[in-house]
Structure 1
Amino acid sequence: MEKLVLAYSGGLDTSYCAHSLSHQQGFEVHAVTVNTGGFDPAELEEIETKALALGAHSYKAVDAVQTFYEKVVRYLIYGNVLRNNTYPLSVSAERIVQAIEIANYAKSLGAKYIAHGSTGAGNDQVRFDMIFQILAPEIEIITPIRDQQLSREAEISYLQEHGISYSWEKAKYSINKGLWGTSVGGVETLGSKLALPEEAYPSQLKVKEPVQIRLGFRNGELHSLDGEQADPVSIILKLEEIASAYAIGRDIHVGDTIIGIKGRVGFEAASALIIIKAHHLLEKHVLSKWQQFQKEQLANFYGMLLHEGQYLDEVMRNIEAFMESSQQYVSGEVYIKLLPYRFELQGISSENDLMNPSFGSYGEMNKGWSAAEAKGFIKLLSNSGKIAQEIHSDS
């Protein structure tokens, strides 16, 4: 029996893979779940029980929440990354870390094969395969659902024929939860017209009374929540708990998939959206306009490459180095008001605030220059336009 590592989530597709690869194809299946914030201990225990019952030789749960933050999330914060100005890359960012952990686990076991349950119609097949081929080119990739073009009904029929009696009734809405947000898919997101209904979102409105919170940053990283210092992952989780009770962070993302078709997915990411917007506001106060401009270009590029599965390209490390260096003065607190379904950024306090009244107050009074100097500056600034206007006025 040859060793095969299976990326196992406990869902229908990977359960079909676990049984068929072990019982029908004779592999020694080592199932692995990489937790990037979507599973609690009870869920992981249930997944392990199911994997072993389906024929897996072993099961391993890899805790990669901190790794996910260190390797990806903090750079998404540094870059204020929102794909198409909307989506905080909740699920696509997770897949990269999951694929890397799976590849490393397969190599540590000396496995000759890696399997995953992706279909041929989504982005995840590209992300997984690319990471595996780059990190473990000697390991063969097997994808039963994609290779056999299996329908959901065919998978269920196979499992039932082999005495697997789990309930595979398809949920009305597909939920994928992680540290950086939760995706929500349903019949509404298959088309372009309909919005997701209230009940589709896992977090419902529970609190209506507005509240003000403070997010503290130190060199661009989360440092405190309401003055209480903690590690960034703990702050993300605590903020999600507080803000999701206001049903904040809901939206539908429309974008271009890696395989060339348009895709539409709902999501809720209260913590991610608040953190990104708060961090961005702080940067507006403490960074120069050219730092902000260059960061925006590179961060957009970074988010696109991450979404497309190009995380291992060296340019990503170059961009990360730039973004990290830009955070030297991004320290301070941001004041945020939480309300039902929305939040307001109210202001910041920082020792590095460049909005310094000693030089002048915008639209009010100049203190660092005279009226004559202002006139001279404007005259020089208009020179290029004046010259072009005169030269081209008769053409």
Structure 2
Amino acid sequence: MIALARKTMVHEWRRFLPAIFAVGFSGLLLMVQAALVLGIFGSAAVYVTASSAQLWVGYPGTQSVNFGREIGPDVEMRLRMDPDVTDVEPYQWVEGDWHNLGRSGGGIPVFVSGVRTDVDAMMFSRLLSAPLRQRLRDPGAVIVDRSDLEQLGTSVGASAWLNGQRVRIVAAVTGLRALGGVNVLSSIDTARQLRVGDPSMGATYFVARTRDPDRAQAVRDRLGASATFGPFSVWTAEEFAWKSKLYWMFDTGAGIAVLFMAGIVCLVGAVVTSQSLLAVVAASAREYAVLNALGASLRALGRVVLEQACWIAGVGLLMGGLSSGVLLWVASQNDVPVSMSLPVALGCSALVVGLALVSGLIALRGLLRADPAMLLR
């Protein structure tokens, strides 16, 4: 019977083509939706994922990176006292109002990240090269994402007003897009000058590098037990990145809406695929009736339908995977925030196969029409 399912797929491929396209389209929608979710909400944690620090220290109860509050300078001393911590640096977060040089139009909300400009600095080490950090040492120098230049109404080498201070765009990079605003990188000194209020106030975060990255959790637990240096909390980089992503995904209306759309995609894919397989089984009802009359049981015929569903899932998944790979590449080349990882891709693939198998089980109802008596009509 297994050979029958495969040979039927080969010789009557036109009959199965709509179901294959349905599965492939479902896989395409799922993978693109997942890539958009990861890309959009992953930008909320770009400050963590684009940096090489193993530990983040901030104000207790911080839900996301962009909700940081100042912590006391004594916290830096506590970090440096730990024998497993090899380097500590401050990270300054400043919310700003951006105007182009002519002050035309309204202000644009931006998030200024004040980082250290040393060559071995941890903040945004995966985005900033040594020459770019060198450019940030000039007073008022800033770096933005290439895709945000048009929104900011400026270009590389031009000047603008940020919180009433004049700044100059010295470079534009890729991978710095923000969620709900525009990211701007500057030196710590420039960020403190851009602050509204006392520029001598403490840092928003301190980030640290550990001697052994595998011991980051142990160091976090040890540092978190100290309460004599003021209120602060310690997270590993992975924890803080996930904390920021999960907040935007589940604690905001935008995240719930996107996840709801992902659920709709799954539902539509299941309905379309099941109806396609039902049509295939219904079209083959007379052939199944002949096999039943020759002694093939309904159980054996059911295995044929499920085997066909597996073949449809495999071919459709291959088509959907190739199509989604091309679309995601085109999206990334046009600065659309998309991201894909192997576990997520495998999860989407498993879900598509599961949809096809469930659809195959639903399509088994069509075998009830494969009664040998229909051959007499």
Instruction: Check whether TM > 0.5.
Output: no
Larger Cα Rg: Structure 1 or Structure 2? 2
> TM-score w.r.t. structure 1 length?
0.24
> TM-score w.r.t. structure 2 length?
0.25
Whichever structure has more helix as a proportion of its residues is 2
